[in-house]
Amino acid sequence: MSDPNSDYFSSQCDRCIFNTRNPHLPCAVHPYKIMNDQCPDFELDTSLPAGEWCEPEGASYYAGELVIEPTQRWMREQKLALLDWHPMFTGRCPDCERSLMQTHPARVYWDCQCGWRGV
């Protein structure tokens, strides 16, 4: 697997304490290209488990423990469709178009006078 930032960052970066473990901003100290293969600010991250330098895809480390990301309940298209019709995002009932205002604290159940019920 090829790293898109390999042209910009040193081979030491995945073991450095300043590595953010974020593909969009790999280094907290040098957000842009470094000029040579030896980074002047490199510090070995001793908290990394031996041989485990990167997070596996679909998982993250929290407090030193590998946590697998949960399976998504809805597909991307379904999530986008939800933004178009749910009263939490539109402020109106999807059946009768009556205005349903957000409350503080936020509602858990969305009930309309027309009988529509939403969670």
What's the pLDDT at 96?
92
Alpha carbon distance 93, 105 (integer Å): 19
The answer to whether 15 and 53 have CB atoms below 8 angstroms apart is yes
Distances (CA, A) of 64 to 2, 54, 67: 26, 12, 9
- For 111, the enclosing helix (H) or strand (E) is strand 110-111
pTM for this structure? 0.38
- The one-letter code for the residue type at 4 is P
Indicate if the pLDDT at residue 52 is higher than 80: no
More confident residue, 42 or 64: 42
What's the pLDDT at 11?
66
For the chain, the domains span: 1-71, 76-118
User: Which runs of consecutive H residues, i.e. helices, occur in the chain?
Assistant: 76-85, 87-90
Please write the tens of the pLDDT for every residue from 57-91. 777 777 767 788 887 788 889 989 888 888 888 88
The 3-state DSSP class for residue 25 equals coil
